Structure 1
Amino acid sequence: MTGVVGPDGTEWIPTIVALDRVPGLSGWTLRSWIRREQVRSQRVGRQVWVAWGDVLEVEAAAHMVGWRRGRRAQPAGGVGQTADQIAQLGAAGHVRPDQC
């Protein structure tokens, strides 16, 4: 059994299953989302179960803004661009100076 559906239609799965279902998702990231209440969780015995829909939502939101995972995680927007390219974007009104 990999998950159960609650009375409200929410699919609940153990955290280990969520980590298996989302490639590249670390346990640290998932615990962070739980602590920040972005992902609902319930403790069942010695396991923590999470709302699968919440995990998908937060992962999709992180992916859409270009967030990269890792020790020095950062938005991917300015990565790989030269200072001149970033300045040109700022001059064109695409990027505010405080975002560089």
Structure 2
Amino acid sequence: MTPKERAEKSAAAMWAEDHASKWAGMEITHMDEGEAALELTIAQHHCNGHGICHGGVTFMLADSAFAFACNSRNQATVAQHNVISFTAPGRLGDRLIAKAREISLTG
């Protein structure tokens, strides 16, 4: 099995039980060893009182992409620390894309 095949099988197994990401409307659009891309189209229920995408939804998309990337070797891992900077608001109908790539792999 190639590393990409392992990553795709790991993602499929995780996705089967990832009710939160599916509930939010996310889609996995790319998987490989140490990397993942997930996408989400902003719907009305993702918007806050300012009419823009709720920051928690944006963070959730990024966190899910991270989770799929770091679990691509079929070894259960979770985040210890995570930070996000919001550079621009997402708006109703926008397509958000979160790309995650490992930059370090330590024990």
How high is the TM-score relative to the length of structure 2? Answer: 0.25
Which structure's relative contact order is higher, taking Cα pairs within 8 Å and 6+ residues apart?
2
